[in-house]
Amino acid sequence: MNNFPQKLKLIYLPFIALGLTIIGGYTFLNWLLLIKFQVFSVNGEIINLWIPIFLPFIPGFIWLQRRVKLLRLKTRSGDLPGLYVIIACFGIAAPTLVAQSYLQTASGKLTALQNINNIGQQAPTKYYTLKTFYIDKAHSGAKAIFKTSGKNDEHLEMDLCFVSPILVSAADTGKGTCLAWLGVKYHQQISNSLSENAKKALYQAFAEGSEANFEKRDLADFTYLDMIGNNDDHRGYRAAIKQNKQVSGNRDLVLVPIDGSFEARNGNKLPWIFGSFAIGAGVWLIMILIPALNEDNVKKLQSGKTRSKGDARDVFSLLLPREGYFITPIIADLNILIFVAMVFAGLGFLSFDAPDLLAWGADYKPSVAGGQWWRLITSIFLHGGLIHVFANTFGLVFAGLFLEPKLGRVKFAGVYLAVGVLASLTSLWWHNATVSVGASGAIFGLYGTLLALILTKVYPRDFGKAFLPSILIFIGYNLLMGLRGSVDNAAHLGGLVSGFVIGLLLSQRMRTEVNEITPAPLENPSNGSV
């Protein structure tokens, strides 16, 4: 137990304080802003799943990582301090997730209605019971929803959403309108690497089985109803309502039947909030007890010299404009801001649907041919989801760190836009009716330009030897991954070739300049290292 009191004070208690702050603070804000006062509406999966998962990593790598480096950890076999921080962050994320799930069910009020016509006469609640009702199954609507998931889009998620009008009585079936809908969803996951014929066959079997189950199901057999909030399920139900041409009504009010006791809705969520945090805290305690303290780093921390070279703040600095590296972070920030705007518009998080991307400016041949040429530019700032924007931001930053200082602001921006437009045009030439988005075509163009400048000796020989293999691997790997149907390889090739040609043209003039590489430096006002 080397230096146990110091470890408790300097490492363990900060973890406990950080965990309680995130779990309690985030849960309180969720309740106050989104449930109590309903200040704004955000996709529920983002609020209750993705933010709780990722939120602890921000203070974890900015603040807790400095505490972890007080331990004497061997790093030859890997980044042990980083692994410690990741485990600590997951130890905080788990109870935060459980807390949001508990909040959603525990804070929901059960309102008893005489019939569905009374639902607009009272303040909205999450749960309802109906004394008198009729589910009009004969006028139901259905919609199939497809989306990819998993690493490299390895899974295809198939949802079949059914909606049926909720009426007061059977006598209302001829009115052609309703105030609310009963929603039922069926789901199946298949491999996305299957052939198109195999996917169609599996979907056909899934659809037939779901329809048969829906026809046999007694829709009136439920204990209470759960009002669907702003989430992906709600989007699927809305699409099904839109498909229903026989009945019109409020597309936002969808109720899902729940068969079970209302009092049992919370399950064991509350004790698991404390239990999961206790497990994480116990694991963290064991982890910090094993290694000894690094006394030098402890002294630096106590003296205020806590800035670490290469810590998380250096990563965030890559998104801040500065001399010699100005346009690249602006483009990256714009991509991220547009992604965040689409997320808060409730369009998704891991992925966005093609109609939504089209509405926001995606590249699409029929639309461009109809005169919407601006899509050639707007499409390169849109992305299909979280992984897409993350991967493209990484590729853009890496290329921009070395290319922008060499080209300068104006020339770099011109090259980026030019290769982006040429990549979009190549995509239109190759695809007749494909919705295409992403900065990857423009980024491939930057790598094409960088490749041309390296091969024509604009960069020093040592720089070429160091980075040429990694650039070729990057290009080859991404083109190989582009053989999958969900990736627009035409845009990649169009950007790469056009960027290489532009690089050759630029190299004629640049080779006469000083043959010196000056990558944009990371900001590091360090006066000590821990």
Q: Which residues are catalytic?
A: 440, 492
DSSP 427-449: HHHH-SS--B--SHHHHHHHHHH
Give the amino acid at 310: G
Q: 297 near 260, Cβ under 8 Å?
A: no
Q: CB–CB of 89/59 below 8 Å?
A: no
Handedness of CA 199, 431, 331, 348 (dihedral sign): negative
Sign, CA dihedral 381-383-389-392, equals: negative
Within a 10 A sphere around the Cβ of 183, how many other Cβ atoms?
Answer: 24
Which residues are within 8 A (CB) of 311 and not within 5 positions of it... i.e. 6 or more apart?
A: 61, 62, 65, 66
| Residue ranges of E strands in 168-263 | 177-178, 180-191, 224-227, 248-249, 254-258
**b/e for 45-64, b at 16 or more Cβ within 10 A?**
bbbbbbbbeebbbebbbeeb
Q: Which stretch of DSSP H or E encloses residue 113?
A: strand 110-113
- The whole-angstrom separation of Cα 518 and Cα 324 is 9
How would DSSP label each residue in 217-236? S-TT--SEEEE--SSHHHHH
Q: What is the largest CA-CA distance in the chain?
A: 86
Asked if residues 300 and 306 have their Cβ atoms less than 8 Å apart, the reply is yes
Residue 437: how many other CB atoms lie within 10 Å: 29
Q: Which ranges constitute the DSSP H helices of 30-151?
A: 44-45, 51-54, 57-59, 65-68, 80-106
Of 253, 258, 256, 257, nearest to 177 by C-alpha is 253
**342 in Cβ contact with 360 (< 8 Å):** yes
Q: Which helix (H) or strand (E) holds 146?
A: strand 141-149
